[in-house]
Each structure stands twice: as structure tokens, then as C-alpha cells.
Amino acid sequence: MHESTRDSIARLLAPALGLPESEVTELVELPRERGRGDYALPCFPLARRLRKPPQAIAAELAESLAPAVAADPLVARLEASGPYLNIHLDPATFARRVLARVAQAGERFGESERGAGQRVVIDFSSPNIAKRFHIGHLRSTVIGAALVRIHRALGYEVIGVNHLGDWGTQFGHLISAWELWGEPERLEGEDPIGYLQQLYVRHNKAAKEDPSYADRARAAFRRLEEGDPEARALWSRMREISLAEFDRIYRLLGVEFDEIAGESFYEDKMAHALALCEQRGIARESEGALIIDFAEHGVEGLQPMLLRRSDGATLYATRDLAAGIYRFETYDPAKIIYVIGAPQRLHLQQLFAALGLLGFPAERCHHVAFGHVLGMSTREGTAILLDEVLGRAIELAEQRIREGDVRVPEDRIEETARAVGVGAVVFADLRHRPIKDIAFDWDRLVRFEGETGPYLQYTHARLRAILDRVAEEHGERPGETEADPGRLVTDEERAVLMHLEQYPRAIERAARELEPSVVSAHLLDLAAAFSTFYHKHHVKNAPPELRRARLELVEAVRRVLAHGLGLLGIEALERM
Ligand code: ARG
């Protein structure tokens, strides 16, 4: 594998600094302003260690390394500028190296084995059965699936878990409601989940007015817990119906899970969790209930966590505690990532604190909290039908395609519209940090220009078209001609190369910060740099040697776009 520019620079600088190369690699950064070289080494972080002012460090490095630089093909010149050491590269060598790296890695440029041997559990999507998929579940699905792919690209062993909401006292209400009012044929109808949700709401309301319904619900849930065949069969049926419905969405988004271990999976594991709490003396009775009072164990500022109600019922939190313990004990993961809306922050703080008190490495647990989707309420409240989002985006995409925003042959319109509509929604979600609320601006969402998913899909298709045209006219294909990327030395080309070079780091940063938006931002920057280049320079009509070199550049950009879109869960379209 060719080494990265950063590593080459670190190898040159490290001996003079007396530091390990790996440490120097992390110090090297992109310059703050244009015209200050291609990379820079800020010397402040070194001042204390080397007991010298940063200005002096920069000046001495520039001087003492001059002979090494003269012999180095990549670094053309070092220049001290105040506390910075500016690093100027030889543009031709830089271009050759970058494109050689991309060519060598093939379609997998950007991936690595950094995470090899480490497991990551990602808890995402996790809708509730017998209830509609919520817009929040869409966000969790999209963000979680991106984090799964990003970690896999870095060699982590990822276990993507759908922590389905399929257990709890609410199923007592549902079972009782079914027994009282259930109409079997409605489960075969249009919207079985909507029907179940109605039944639940009706029973729940009745229980508020008449305690006998509440008793029925409790008794029904007890039967379910005790394994009563009828209650179980009914519950299974509801679960299957719900999963089939959720699967439509997962298929549309191209999302899969390694485990569908919902809350019911932990039914027989809660006893172990509660026993562990007792053993460590972290839980105690309070008015008949079982709680963890964090203040008693030196954890300040957290409300007590309820593990068992006075009527003996366990809770969502009890199952999450059992799940956390199970995950640590089964997988010994390097990270457990919970992709859950920001309103559940307190719940997760309690969960992580409880796991910590039990002696598990709770610092490995992360809550990727996401914000709301604004302006999306319907008569169902914020629980909008998913079809209203993805379906609407797909419709809009088809409309724009038919209006001629892009050209797609009639027989491919439907499939293209699906990819564009889904891509638009997914990108809008991953464009910004998860914690920010998002507003789906329907007018701008599905556009082939601006900072949208469809714009990137369109750019990818355009790059493909450039390659096709050169192949038709000149019979040249990337990787198959004698091309010297050393010719790619204009500012615009160097800017594109810089973005290519930085792509693997963007993936690493996205994983480290649990921010898929690092990848989306990088792709937008790359597309913008390419567009600036393409505006100013020819590819197909350039002189032959330059054309061949540029062909390699176009292909490298195309590969990175395709790969990055893939990480986000967006189809890179071949033609538009
Ligand atoms: N089912 C829950 C909800 O819809 C989300 C579960 C998230 N995962 C977890 N381990 N708590 O709010």
C-alpha cells in the first residue's frame, strides 16, 4: 500500500523532532489559508516538550531539514511562518501518489483495518410493534445504518441490533382489547398496524375511566409473561405483522440488521440483571418498588432509576439494563452506540451510570442523540406515516425527472425516482450533525443542485458520462492507458486531489465522532472542487496526454463519490 502524504511528511519530520512518526502524523494539518503550502505543522503543541518557543522550532526545522527535503521527491520546500512550518509539496509527485493510492485500493479506497479485532454494537431503528413507524425511527434507522457501514469500512466487527419495542405492559392492553373488540379481518386489511394502534388507544382510554379495564390489561400481560399459548400466539402475530410492515421500509432504505433482539429477547435476562444489582448492592426497595438511587452511590445529579414497579412489573429501563449487561458479557465491545432521539437522554444517562456502578466499562457506551424533524405533524401528530415521507419524496423525484431536470429513459424513470427520492431524504438527514433538528424543505429537498443527495447522485452520473464519452471517442478507459498523473498540477486539480487524499481520514473522523455528516460534508466539498475544475478545464478535448491523466482523476472522484454515497446509504446512479 502506498503511504499517505501525511505519513510521508511525518516520516521526514519525525527524526528532527525526536518524536514517533504516528504522533507527528496527527499534528500535521491542512493550512489555515490558501498560499501557505499544502500542509502545515503548527509548532505550539511542541513548545512545552521541546522547551522552545514555537517560532524557533519552526525556523530550526526549516533549516535543519533542508538537506533531507532536497533529497525528498514529495516535499518541495519547507517554510517557517511564525509558529507554523508550512509544507509545500511537489505537485507532480503529489498527484502521482494520490492517484496511485486510489488505483491500488480500487473500489475500496478509504477503507482500512484500523478497527480490526474490535467489536462495535450499534442499537438503531428500534420501532415499537403494533405501532406505526415514527419519523424518529426513520432518523434512527438512517443514522444508525450509516454508522454501521462507516465502522465496517474501518474493519470493525459490527453487530447492528434492532432493539424492537416488543414487550411491556402495553401488550396487556392490546391483548385485552383484541379479546374484547378484535376483528380478525382487519389484520388482513390495508393498515393492520394502524388498526392495532387504534385498539390500544381505545383500551388505554377505557382503563383510565374504568379500573376494570386496567385489571384486564394487567391480567392479560401476566398471561403473556407466563407463556399462555393464546396470549403468546396473538403477540407473535402482532409482531410478525409489524415486522413485515417495517421490512418494506428497510428494503426501501437498503438496511439490514445482524440481530433483531427486541425487548422481549431480554425477558428471561432481567432476573440476571436484577440479581447483579442486588449482589453489588446498588438497588434497593422503595415503597415496594425496586430502584437505583444514584446519589447513594456517589453519582450526583441523576434521578433514581426505576427497575421494578410495586406491582412487580418490569420496565423499558429494566430491559435496557439487561440488554447492556448482555452486550458487555456476550461481545466485549469496544463501543456500544445507541442511536436514539434526544428526549431519551436522561434514560441513557441513567442506564450508563447503572452499568458503570455494576463494574462495566460504561465509558464505551455512547448516545448518538438526534433532534426532531420540524414541520412534519399531521393529524396523527408527529407519528407520521413513513410513506408520507419516502413516498412523497419519490413522487417528487419522479415529477422533477418528468419535467426534464435530468434525462432518464422512460423505462428507468421509476427505479431512478425511487433512488433519488430515498437519496434525498437520507442525505437531508445525514447532511448535518444528528443533534440538530431538521426541516424537510420539500421544495429544495429533491433538487439536482445545491447541497442535496440528488446533486451528488447527479454528479456521479455526470462523471460516468464523461468517462463514457472519452471511451467512445478515443477508446480510452481509466486504468487501461499509459497516463501520467504528474501532469495534474493546476490549482484546481490539486484541490480535487487534496479532497481525494483526505477521504480516508473523513471516514475515520466520522467513526471517531459518530458523525456521518463528516462524510456527507466531504462529498459535497469534493463535488464542488470537481465542479470548479471541470468548469475551467477540458477532459475529453484536452491534449491526449493531459486527457489521459485527467481521465484517471475523473475516475478517482467517481469512485470516492460512489463509495461515500454507499456509506451513507444512497445509491450512486450510473445514468441521469
Ligand atoms: N423503542 C424505543 C422507542 O421507540 C427505542 C428503543 C431504543 N433502543 C434502546 N435500547 N432503548 O422509543
* CB 167 within 8 Å of CB 279: no
The secondary structure of 150-219 as a DSSP string is HHHHTT-EEEEE---B--STHHHHHHHHHHHH--GGGGGSS-HHHHHHHHHHHHHHHHHH-HHHHHHHHH
Give me the CATH number covering residue 84: 3.30.1360.70
Q: Rounded CA gap, 552 and 483, in Å? A: 8
pLDDT at 381 over 50: no
Q: Rounded CA gap, 360 and 329, in Å? A: 9
The secondary structure of 465-512 as a DSSP string is HHHHHHHHHH---TTSS---GGG--SHHHHHHHHHHHHHHHHHHHHHH
- 3-class state of residue 428 by DSSP: helix
Is 417 domain-assigned? no
Together in a domain, 85 and 180: no
Together in a domain, 555 and 434: yes
**Which residue from 558, 553, 548, 557 is spatially nearest to 484, judged by alpha carbons?**
548
436 catalytic residue (yes or no): no
Output the pLDDT for position 379: 44
Among 203, 231, 253, the domain-final residue is: 253
pLDDT at 382 over 70: no
Output the pLDDT for position 16: 93
Output the pLDDT for position 526: 98
Which of the residues 137, 151, 173, 460 is marked catalytic? 137
417: its cell numbers: 425516482
**Is any atom of ligand 1 closer than 6 Å to the C-beta of 163?**
yes
pLDDT above 90 covers what percent of the chain? 91
Output the pLDDT for position 278: 93
Give me the CATH number covering residue 474: 1.10.730.10
| Residue pLDDT, tens place only, 260-286 | 999 999 999 999 999 999 999 999 999
Q: How many CB atoms lie within 10 A of CB 538?
A: 11
Output the pLDDT for position 171: 96
Together in a domain, 437 and 553: yes
Q: How many CB atoms lie within 10 A of CB 198?
A: 14
Element (H, E) at 439: strand 438-439
| Residue pLDDT, tens place only, 149-175 | 999 999 999 999 999 999 999 999 999
Q: Rounded CA gap, 278 and 284, in Å? A: 8
Is 94 domain-assigned? no
**Is any atom of ligand 1 closer than 6 Å to the C-beta of 75?**
no
Describe the crossing of helices 413-430 and 453-474 by its angle, rounded to 10 degrees.
130
Output the pLDDT for position 309: 94
Cα(164) to centroid of ligand 1, in Å?
Answer: 7
Is 445 domain-assigned? yes
* CB 137 within 8 Å of CB 250: no
Together in a domain, 79 and 175: no
Together in a domain, 77 and 200: no
Together in a domain, 176 and 77: no
Top mutation candidate among 265, 338, 340 for ligand 1, by most atoms within 8 Å of CB: 340
Output the pLDDT for position 384: 57
Among 69, 89, 109, the domain-final residue is: 89
Together in a domain, 548 and 448: yes
Is 550 domain-assigned? yes
pLDDT at 568 over 80: yes
What would the mean pLDDT of 340-355 be, rounded to a whole number? 98
Is 387 domain-assigned? no
What would the mean pLDDT of 554-565 be, rounded to a whole number? 98
Backbone angles phi, psi at 493, to 5 degrees: -70, -40
What would the mean pLDDT of 227-247 be, rounded to a whole number? 96
Output the pLDDT for position 302: 97
* CB 477 within 8 Å of CB 471: yes
Top mutation candidate among 163, 263, 345 for ligand 1, by most atoms within 8 Å of CB: 163
Of 134-138, 219-223, 541-545, the one with minimum mean pLDDT is 134-138
What would the mean pLDDT of 4-9 be, rounded to a whole number? 93
pLDDT at 294 over 80: yes
Output the pLDDT for position 1: 61
Together in a domain, 83 and 191: no
What residue owns the CA closest to ligand 1's atom 6? 126
Output the pLDDT for position 385: 65
What would the mean pLDDT of 503-509 be, rounded to a whole number? 97
* CB 257 within 8 Å of CB 160: yes
Output the pLDDT for position 529: 98
* CB 263 within 8 Å of CB 163: yes
Together in a domain, 174 and 85: no
**Which residue from 430, 390, 402 is spatially nearest to 246, judged by alpha carbons?**
390
Output the pLDDT for position 32: 84
What would the mean pLDDT of 94-107 be, rounded to a whole number? 96
CA distances from 50 to 19, 77, 300, 428 (A): 10, 23, 41, 46
Cα(345) to centroid of ligand 1, in Å?
Answer: 12
Residue 248: domain span:
170-253
* CB 357 within 8 Å of CB 284: no
Q: Rounded CA gap, 12 and 78, in Å? A: 11
The domain total for the chain is 3
**Bridge partners for 286 per DSSP:** 289
Cα(127) to centroid of ligand 1, in Å?
Answer: 7
Together in a domain, 432 and 541: yes
Among 253, 272, 299, the domain-final residue is: 253
| Residue pLDDT, tens place only, 119-132 | 999 999 999 999 98
pLDDT at 40 over 90: yes
Mean pLDDT of the chain: 95
Sheet holding 39-42, edge to edge: 39-42, 84-89, 75-81
Is 112 domain-assigned? no
* CB 494 within 8 Å of CB 125: no
- 3-class state of residue 379 by DSSP: coil
Is 141 domain-assigned? no
Cα(448) to centroid of ligand 1, in Å?
Answer: 35
| Residue pLDDT, tens place only, 451-487 | 999 999 999 999 999 999 999 999 999 999 999 999 9
Describe the crossing of helices 170-181 and 211-225 by its angle, rounded to 10 degrees.
110
Q: Rounded CA gap, 428 and 175, in Å? A: 39
Which of the residues 2, 88, 131, 535 is marked catalytic? 131
pLDDT at 554 over 70: yes
Together in a domain, 559 and 433: yes
pLDDT at 205 over 50: yes
| Residue pLDDT, tens place only, 323-338 | 999 999 999 999 999 9
pTM of the model: 0.95
Together in a domain, 429 and 545: yes
What would the mean pLDDT of 31-40 be, rounded to a whole number? 88
Is 18 domain-assigned? yes
pLDDT above 70 covers what percent of the chain? 98
Element (H, E) at 408: none
**Is any atom of ligand 1 closer than 6 Å to the C-beta of 136?**
no
